[in-house]
């Protein structure tokens, strides 16, 4: 047991160094994407999307299993999670498709074909199983359809189909643990103490932080390991415990400021393609931020979505930074070149 504890402490100590390495690589990807003219991307969008779909298919066969899910590819000492990177693929492929069919939004065929483009990614990710990321892709697509000018009559039809699909999924598709998480959210008093353990510890962590927190690395719930999965799913609770209400609010305000800047860039974009790319990135960040903080506060079901830019994980961080790089590429090229 002593050896196991020492090994666990070594792993914990390596997380900050690993994340710092991920951040360095991610910043390089950000600057690379910002330097590349986003208008050159359509020529490689579909090949990249098909490649990522192929990788997701391979994962279902030979992927690394961890925590009961088969979502990772082992690359040396690291685990790569392509389901994170496919978010960028979905944003680019839908932006290209919807921009090309901007004049055909009156036809119901346009959103229908867009859904068919999205469906393989959603299905492959759900089969891992990874319901949270599948929902992220659906929210990204819905936002981009709306920004592209989806007609209200189409929205009504799609919402109706979505409700019917959700009912069918509840009965025949969702796994037992997925239903349990939703029921636990709807009726917390009926849940077993063991099932609510993480959520209860997250609430205790947030409450114990007070106004200014217990101090960095001094949180009792996180440092004594009462709060599990504290470096990914419940990192917001660690922030609230160690930095307090003020620190948690500052973190939320920083993310909100980033979203406002993205919306500003989308409004200035010189073309529909650029506007849709930035809108997709903003939808991805906003949904993940809302769900992660909501589940930490026991306001939303636990889904396992990381907090953007904060949760541990190289693939998730790279995805966010690539998204910001794409937005910067759009921002740097919003002015039309004028020839005298």
**pLDDT averaged per 10 residues, the chain (length 340):** 38 74 94 95 94 92 76 76 93 96 92 95 91 93 95 92 87 80 70 68 84 78 72 86 92 97 94 96 96 90 88 92 96 63
Residues 281, 262 contacting (CB under 8 angstroms): yes
Is 340 contained in some domain? Answer: no
Residues 82, 60 contacting (CB under 8 angstroms): no
Q: 336, exposed or middle or buried, with CB in 10 Å at 0-12, 13-18, 19+?
A: exposed
Is 60 contained in some domain? Answer: yes
Provide the pLDDT for residue 8.
42
Is 164 contained in some domain? Answer: yes
Is 244 contained in some domain? Answer: yes
Is 339 contained in some domain? Answer: no
What's this model's pTM, rounded to 2 decimal places? 0.90
Q: Which residues pair with 69 in a beta bridge?
A: 66
Domain count, the chain: 1
Residues 205, 238 contacting (CB under 8 angstroms): yes
Is 91 contained in some domain? Answer: yes
DSSP code at position 236 = H
- Alpha-carbon torsion, ordered 173, 177, 180, 185, to 10 deg: -100
Provide the pLDDT for residue 339.
36
Residues 223, 231 contacting (CB under 8 angstroms): no
Rounded alpha-carbon distances, angstroms, from residue 164 to 156, 159, 170: 12, 9, 10
Residues 118, 92 contacting (CB under 8 angstroms): no
The residue among 175, 167, 163 whose CA lies nearest residue 132 is 175
How far apart are the C-alpha atoms of 299 and 65, rounded to whole Å? Answer: 29
What distance separates the 2 farthest-apart alpha carbons in the chain?
Answer: 76
Is 196 contained in some domain? Answer: yes
Provide the domain limits for residue 12: 2-332
Provide the pLDDT for residue 254.
97
DSSP E strands: which ranges in the chain? 64-66, 69-75, 78-80
In sequence order, the 6+-apart residues with CB closer than 8 A to the CB of 78 are 18, 314
Query: Can you tell me whether residue 300 is helix, strand or coil?
Result: coil
Provide the pLDDT for residue 73.
79
How far apart are the C-alpha atoms of 242 and 208, rounded to whole Å? Answer: 9
């Amino acid at each position: 047991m002593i050896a196991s504890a020492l090994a666990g402490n070594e792993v914990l100590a390596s997380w900050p160094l690993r994340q710092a390495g991920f951040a360095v690589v991610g910043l390089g990807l950000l600057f690379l994407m910002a330097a590349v003219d986003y208008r050159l991307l359509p020529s490689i969008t579909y090949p990249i999307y098909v490649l990522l779909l192929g990788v997701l298919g391979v994962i279902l066969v030979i992927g690394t299993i961890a925590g009961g899910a088969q979502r990772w590819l082992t690359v040396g000492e690291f685990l790569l999670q392509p389901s994170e990177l496919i978010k960028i693929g979905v944003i680019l492929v839908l932006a290209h498709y919807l921009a090309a069919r901007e004049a055909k939004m009156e036809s119901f065929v346009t959103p229908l074909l867009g859904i068919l483009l999205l469906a393989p990614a959603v299905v492959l990710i759900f089969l891992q199983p990874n319901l949270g990321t599948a929902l992220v892709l659906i929210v990204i697509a819905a936002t981009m359809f709306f920004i592209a000018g989806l007609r209200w009559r189409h929205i009504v039809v799609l919402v109706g189909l979505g409700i019917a699909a959700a009912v069918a999924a509840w009965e025949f598709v969702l796994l037992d643990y997925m239903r349990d998480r939703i029921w636990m959210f709807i009726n917390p008093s009926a849940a077993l103490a063991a099932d609510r353990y993480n959520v209860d510890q997250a609430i205790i962590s947030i409450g114990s932080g007070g106004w200014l927190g217990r101090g960095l690395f001094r949180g009792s719930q996180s440092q004594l390991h009462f709060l599990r999965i504290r470096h990914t799913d419940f990192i917001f609770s660690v922030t609230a415990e160690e930095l307090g209400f003020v620190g948690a609010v500052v973190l939320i305000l920083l993310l909100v400021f980033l979203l406002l800047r993205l919306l500003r860039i989308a409004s200035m974009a010189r073309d529909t393609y650029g506007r849709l790319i930035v809108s997709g990135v903003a939808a991805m960040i906003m949904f993940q931020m809302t769900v992660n903080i909501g589940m930490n506060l026991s306001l939303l079901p636990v889904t396992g979505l990381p907090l953007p830019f904060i949760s541990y994980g190289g693939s998730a961080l790279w995805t966010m930074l690539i998204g910001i790089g794409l937005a910067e590429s759009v921002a740097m090229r919003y002015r039309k070149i004028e020839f005298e």
